[in-house]
């Protein structure tokens, strides 16, 4: 099985970054369930086979530095009578990766050659 380049985004990762940025325009954070709803509502989005697919991608993207993650305060969840949420925000590295993924392939290749 061929491995992907570290800077290459999967379609789901690209959709997560796009939706994450849209959800955080006001500076807030997003959680997995609201992200899943946004992905399902977006035009032309691919359906997730399971929420586990989304949460694995969120974890992978956090490890790569494309997202930051933190647990919300337990008092908030207790007050609302629900489990705590893991909150995410797109990082500068995530925005850069998304911008690169939108560039035509020839432009990306030329940029790689210029930096080597």
Write down the domain spans for the chain. 11-115
pLDDT for the residue 52: 78
Range 81-98 average pLDDT? 96
pLDDT bucket at 45, cuts 50 / 70 / 90: low
Phi first, then psi: what are they for 49, rounded to 5°?
-75, -30
pLDDT bucket at 8, cuts 50 / 70 / 90: confident
Helix (H) or strand (E) holding 67: strand 67-71
Instruction: Judge whether residue 108 has pLDDT over 90.
Output: no
Look at phi and psi of residue 65 and say left if phi exceeds 0, alpha if psi is from -120 to 50, else beta: left
Which residue, chain included where needed, has tokens 């954070």? 29
Say if pTM beats, i.e. exceeds, 0.75: yes
Neighbours of 61 (CB within 10 A): 25
Domain 11-115 has what CATH class?
Answer: mainly alpha
**CA end-to-end distance (rounded Å), the chain:** 27
Question: What 3-state class would DSSP assign to 56?
Answer: helix
Between residues 70 and 110, which one has the greater pLDDT? 70
pLDDT for the residue 46: 59
């Amino acid at each position: 099985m061929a491995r992907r380049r570290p800077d290459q985004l999967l379609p789901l990762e690209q959709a997560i970054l796009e939706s994450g940025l849209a959800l955080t325009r006001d500076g807030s954070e997003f959680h997995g369930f609201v992200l899943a709803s946004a992905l399902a509502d977006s035009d032309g989005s691919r359906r997730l086979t399971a929420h586990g697919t989304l949460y694995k991608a969120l974890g992978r993207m956090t490890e790569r530095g494309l997202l930051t993650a933190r647990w919300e305060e337990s008092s908030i969840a207790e007050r609302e009578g629900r489990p705590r949420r893991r909150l995410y925000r797109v990082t500068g590295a995530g925005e850069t990766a998304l911008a690169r993924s939108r560039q035509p392939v020839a432009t990306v290749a030329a940029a790689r050659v210029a930096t080597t």
